[in-house]
Amino acid sequence: MKKNIKILKKKLKNYSYNPKLKEECGVFGVSNSKDAAALTALGLHALQHRGQEGCGIVTFDGKNYYSEKRFGLVGDNFNKEKVLKNLVGNYAIGHNRYSTTGENTLRNIQPFFADTNAGGIGVSHNGNLTNSITLRNKLVEDGAIFHTTSDTETIVQLIAKSKRNKTIDKVIDALFQIQGGYALVMLTQNTLIGVRDPYGIRPLVIGKIKDSYVFTSETCALDIIGAKYIRDVENGEVVYVEDNELKSIKPFPSRKVRPCVFEYIYFARPDSLLGGKSAYEHRKNFGIELAKENKIDGDIIVPVPDSGNAAALGFAQYLGKNFELGLIRNHYVGRTFIEPSQKIRSLGVKLKLNANKSTIKNKKIILIDDSLVRGTTSHKIVKMLYDAGAKEVHVKIACPEIRYPDFYGVDTPTKKELLAANKSNDEICEYIGAKSLDFLSIDGMYKAMGFKKRDNTYPQLTDHYFTGDYPVKPIDELGDDKITQLSLLSTGSSN
């Protein structure tokens, strides 16, 4: 056993794949529509907030597959008649890519496509596999050649390698080998497939427009094309459209869903439905609970736009206080996190926001944001508000302290960079330069979502950011601040 661990560790050390590559992406797929490519481009446009680095569409016309991949935004790339004209066929899948570190090359832009002995297959993936390096090493040992540095290619290779006859069975074969948080939309010969991981960490919904089914990350992508929301894909469910009929398989042992709480806090677009309620409503409720926990006297409630808008509204409405736009956002720059280096990220805050001086001068301000990660945003904004004449700035964060990194596809930094993992509340408050600082409690967060409290035996959400409770052990992660391969071998995987 010890020898095996040593060999495995050595292999992982020598491995050139970048284990930090993480993606929080948008996926979309549509069946049976003569406008398949255009609908996919529109859907991806609605999901643009989930990834802005690259985008791609793969279509199938009953005989051939067609693929277009581009760097940058959907609107800049797929609005041209020329590009959409190349994407022939009634079936299409698409992908918006968001990567933080690692290679930003065209070959890493999805959907990925491969020819297997059961025909072609295109794959769009949102999430992160927690055992992809281990799987990849085994595949490479068996002679597989990888073309990309993305964990999604591991899924494609596993599907291609399966000895089963039907493509859907090959997919299920692959699913039993992968672990992590994932939502997949795949396209094979006239079959559209959607998969959500066994805990339902990453989101995936089903919609319908005329005779076409849609599988996508969020309901806002259904709204844009006028599709009706049917339901969420269940955790561990494989849905597919064959002969124009929606079919479902549940290959995994049944367990309760544990969606990622960060979709509710930050990622999903406010108008998207999560568990039957809009993300906007959830966020307003986080603000209401935050107000209940921290009844502080202030002149005005100011949101960090746009991430703190809904929580600040809930906070202000609950306390009957004035909600003011004390910060004005320039909408022509992306999210600060999109920039891979800390230096550029901190510049990004200045590019994005400016103090609305006349509103904040001499005011005691309650500043509300959805989350605090490295503290870059709060640090800059608090200074900006004081420089613009604010009397006092009190910061309220509409989620608990983020103390643990993510391994399921959300871009959180390592523990070293997470402010709340290394500093006390007072130290964070001093770092960001605020008069006071408060976070929503864990129970407050659960209450805001309609639960009595957190079920500590089987938590209703994937909330490791605050609790360190990882439903799937992150077995590939290496380094002092990560859970190591060694701990996996001793604890096993919960999957």
Q: What is the x/- site pattern for ligand AMP, positions 238-267, by CB under 6 A?
A: ----------------------------x-
**Annotated catalytic residue 220:** no
> Residues 355-394: x/- map of binding to ligand AMP (CB under 6 A)?
--------------xxxxxxxxxx----------------
The structure tokens listed for 307 are: 């991430």
Contact with ligand AMP (CB under 6 A) among 112, 286, 337, 408: 337
Smallest distance from the beta carbon of 234 to ligand AMP, in angstroms?
25
Q: How far is the CB of 53 from ligand AMP (least distance, A)?
A: 13
Residue with Cβ nearer ligand AMP (405 or 471): 405
Q: In this complex, which beta carbon is closest to ligand AMP, that of residue 64 or of residue 425? A: 425
Q: Is 464 among the residues that bind ligand AMP (CB under 6 A)?
A: no
* Shortest Cβ 24–ligand AMP spacing (Å): 7
Distance CA 35, CA 483 (A): 46
Task: Rank residues 304 and 327 by Cβ distance to ligand AMP and give the closer one.
Answer: 304
With binding defined as CB under 6 A, does residue 411 bind ligand AMP?
yes
- Give the length of the chain: 495
CB of 369 to ligand AMP, least distance (A): 5
Give the interface segment with ligand AMP, choosing from 185-193, 311-319, 323-331, 405-413 (CB under 6 A): 405-413
Point out which span in 52-60, 332-340, 423-431, 459-467 binds ligand AMP (CB under 6 A).
332-340
CB neighbour class for 200 (10 Å; exposed up to 12, middle 13-18, buried from 19): buried
Binding ligand AMP by CB under 6 A: which of 412, 462, 484, 495? 412
48 binds ligand AMP (CB under 6 A): no
- Asked if 476 and 485 touch (Cβ cutoff 8 Å), the reply is yes
Q: Could you tell me which stretch among 145-153, 193-201, 249-257, 408-416 binds ligand AMP (CB under 6 A)? A: 408-416
Please tell me the count of residues contacting ligand AMP according to CB under 6 A: 19
* 22 vs 447, beta carbon nearer ligand AMP: 22
Residues 289-318 that bind ligand AMP (CB under 6 A): 304, 307
Taking the least distance from each CB to ligand AMP, the nearer of 266 and 466 is 266
How far apart, in Å, do the first and last CA atoms of the chain sit?
A: 21
Main-chain dihedrals φ then ψ at residue 94, nearest 5 degrees: -145, 170
Active site residues: 25
Interacting residues with ligand AMP (CB under 6 A): 266, 304, 307, 335-337, 369-378, 410-412
